[in-house]
Amino acid sequence: MDGAQRLAWLEDYAAGEHEAGKLAAPETLADGIRVEGLSFAYPGSEKLVLDGIDLHFEPGSVVAIVGENGAGKSTLVKLLAKLYAPSKGRILVGGQDLRDLDSASWRGKLSGAFQDFFKFEFKTQHAVGLGDLAKMDDRPAVERAINEAGADDLLARLPRGLDTQLGAAWPEGVELSFGQWQKLAVARGFMRPTPLLLILDEPTAALDAETESGLFERYAQAARKRRDGRITILISHRFSTVRIADKIVVLDGSRLVETGSHAELMAKEGRYADLYRIQAKGYR
């Protein structure tokens, strides 16, 4: 019964998504993405996970979102990806309400990697290539994504390279460590070379801080050179990584409490400065 209720809810939700939004997603983000009065509570709950958020993600910017667990960081990017609709307020993309955009069209402009990734037990090429179905069998495209994700060392260790079957339960299948699975998830997120919105939601938690920082910095530099207004969003608990962002957004208890560059927020001596110093002290 529990499973049937979940399926019924999913069918209703999918039907609603199909009916809502017919406009094609924009080709560029000339005005970036604007969040106006955004509030959200998950279905079946009255507790606001986000409360009255106003933000402007400027075109071509690298934005970091920080805050303690439960502050609403992952929820915010899920709303930007149109996985949920706001309870109140709106999200404007190219001047259009995100509700009015066709979901498939908008998601075709997105890419990224999340902390709760899936372990696809396919051959390595397809486990990565799923990030862009049209190029799943394009070996050069898959190799490029693996290289950008810093996973070329992993590929070199696999017995049959891209043709290696993943998962020990399969004949000749190779089991990977959690960190290795995570590297492939990041590579999968890099399959689309020109997304308008790239979301990196703690996808490298199993990697060391230096590797994560280097990966984010390379991708941030590439994003700033683009002319289509692409926005890159980073979520990380490592403050040494988020320092590279053009803007840092600080969430606390479902509310937006601060925005600014690393230097600006440190000068404010507010919530960000407190969190930064607490973490820095732990590394000493």
Domain range list for the chain: 118-194
Q: For residue 18, what pLDDT is reported?
A: 58
Question: pLDDT per position in the chain (284 positions), as tens?
Answer: 888 888 888 887 777 665 567 899 999 998 999 999 999 999 888 899 999 999 999 998 999 999 988 889 999 999 999 989 999 999 999 889 999 999 989 999 999 888 888 999 999 999 999 999 999 999 999 999 999 888 899 999 999 999 999 999 998 999 999 889 988 999 999 999 889 999 988 876 656 666 667 777 766 766 666 667 889 999 988 887 888 899 999 999 899 999 999 999 999 999 999 988 887 776 55
Q: For residue 129, what pLDDT is reported?
A: 97
d(CA 240, CA 213): 7
**What type of residue sits at position 14?**
A
pTM: 0.85
d(CA 38, CA 266): 26
HEC string for 86-147 = CCEEEEEECCEEHHHECHHHHHCCEEEEECCCCCCCCEHHHHHHCCCHHHCCCHHHHHHHHH
Note the residue count of the chain. Answer: 284
Distance of CA 14 to the CA centre of its chain: 22
d(CA 82, CA 23): 14
Q: For residue 283, what pLDDT is reported?
A: 57
Residue 266 vs residues 5, 20, 30, 245, 270: alpha-carbon distances, Å: 48, 43, 30, 14, 7
d(CA 162, CA 155): 7
Interhelix angle 139-148/178-189, rounded to 10 degrees, is: 120
d(CA 150, CA 153): 7
